Structures are given as structure tokens and as C-alpha cells.
Copies of this chain bind each other. A is one copy, B any other.
């Protein structure tokens, strides 16, 4: 485990334990099969980043109630719901080192259990009694569904621009993380400046997080990633390192890359050549640099808060977004 991860966990493990309990206690389906299917994705070693952010953001805004853990599960349920649907949509077999839910329970149960998790998230959001939280959930779900479809229709499209990639990851990833942070501020009745700061923090963290995720597909290996590496390329999903490298590659290398993107299957050696090109043409470095600039903006958003251990942790989480291995 990295030093950074250890440092974060040392501070937040009591929170994480309470979040884990809240995730179990608030699931409450009446059918055992729903508990199994939703539980399969929900209790498969997720990092609990989103609920943890809600809890930390509420705390840094002075929240003193007893419902932060309960409300925080909204964002893990929404996240798990979209993973259930995305795995069906993408036909991905592995998720966090385990078989994807739909391969065990079938697509129908996976789709409907995703719907159930989304409904539970909404029910818990309603318990906040706050219409601003409901508006956040509505904005999140509208953006995520459209971001996923946008990504889907652009698969294999070599003309995908950096701006369009940014738009897709904003919708499918950043808006949820932003909403988790903003909701923390909302339940703490934070003033507008603090709420905006945490919203900004969450947005930039989310962008960095997704870029780092996309990088992992080219710099990690299957066992530490918990899902097949090269999956993005196999699905024709263009991410920032690829977009940048394609733009800067010499014609024959560009042609090689384009062919690989449009093939469903390729050899390990072709994949390695592809990765070398991402490196040679600066795609990996560029994506890392861009992600890093979002991390810095996330951290500087925190400056409206006075120095505290909570601010320190939020700052470390932003660093971790870029340095994680899975």
C-alpha cells in the first residue's frame, strides 16, 4: 500500500467503517435476490470515495448531526447502480477482480437491481428533506445517463476531440463526485462560498479521477486493476492519452494505432507497441499533466477553509486520485 493511501486510511477508517454499516443498513430490499445482486457490486471492495467525500465535506463545513453517513450512501448507491448498468451495456466480464453481476445474475436482474439502487438513493435523498439535494441527484442522473450514451456512440470514432472527451468524463464521472461533495456542504447548511468551493473541489477531483482511471488502462496490469487491462482499447473507447498521441503521431504510427482501435482483438505484442506509441508521442505524459492540473485546482479550491485535519485529508485524496494503482 502506498504511503499516501496509508496516511489517508489512518485518518478515515472510523468513517469508512460507519459508511460500510450504513451501506448495509439502508439497502433494505424485500427480495433476497435483489440483496444478492445489488450486494454483489456494492460489497466488492469499492473504495467508498464518494460517500467518504460527503462525510468529509459535511464535517469541514461544521456538520454536527447524526445523518452524514446515512446521506453519504446516496452516492455509493448511484455509483453502484451505474456500474450495474454499464457492465451490461459494455459487456465487461470483470469488475473489481470479480465476475460482473450480470454474468452471475443475468442482465435482467442486473438492470432491475440497478433501478432499485437508484430508487433507494432517491428515497434516502428525500429523507434529507432538502430540495437542493434532490436537484443535485436529478442533475447527476441526467448527466450520467447521457454521458454514458455519448461515450457509447463515440466508440471507435477516431475523430473524438479532447473537448468532447472532457465533456463525456464531466458528465459520466465528475458530476457525481461533485454532487457528493456539494451535498456534504448542503446538509451542513454551509454558506454559498463554502458550498461552491466544495463543488469546485469535487468537479476537479472527478475530472482528475477519471483521467487517472483512463491512464490505468495503459499503465497497470489486470491483477492490480481488478479488470482486464486494454479493455478501453478493445471497446474502441478513446481516452486522453490516445487522443493526444493520435494527433501527434507520424502517419504510419497513426495508421497502426487507428487499426488497433478499430479491431476488437489484438495480440499482447500489438498492445505493447500501442502503449509504447502512447509514451513516445507524449500521450501518457499529457494526460498525466492534465490530470495533475485538475488535482491542483481541486486543492486550491479548499483554500477558503482554514487549515484543519479535514482539509488535509481532502487535499491528500486529491493527490491520491492521481497516484492510485486501481
A134→B135 CA distance, assembly (Å): 11
CB nearest to A167 among chain B residues: B30
Indicate with 1 or 0, residue by residue over A95-136, a CB within 8 angstroms of chain B CB atoms: 000000000000111011101101110110110010100110
Q: Do A134 and B122 touch (CB < 8 A)? A: yes
Q: Does A89 have its Cβ within 8 Å of any Cβ on chain B?
A: yes
Q: Does A34 have its Cβ within 8 Å of any Cβ on chain B?
A: yes
Q: Does A141 have its Cβ within 8 Å of any Cβ on chain B?
A: yes
Chain B neighbourhood of A46, CB < 8 A? none
Q: Kindly provide the distance from the CB of A108 to the nearest chain B CB, expressed in whole angstroms.
A: 4
Protomer copies: 2
Contacts A122-B134, A122-B138, A152-B109; is A146 near B85 (CB within 8 Å)?
no
A125→B146 CA distance, assembly (Å): 19
Q: Do A150 and B119 touch (CB < 8 A)? A: no
Select one of B30, B33, B118, B135 contacting A153, CB under 8 A: B33
* A150-172 CB contacts (< 8 Å) to partner B: 150, 152-153
A129→B138 CA distance, assembly (Å): 13
Chain B neighbourhood of A149, CB < 8 A? 31, 33-34, 109, 112-113, 116
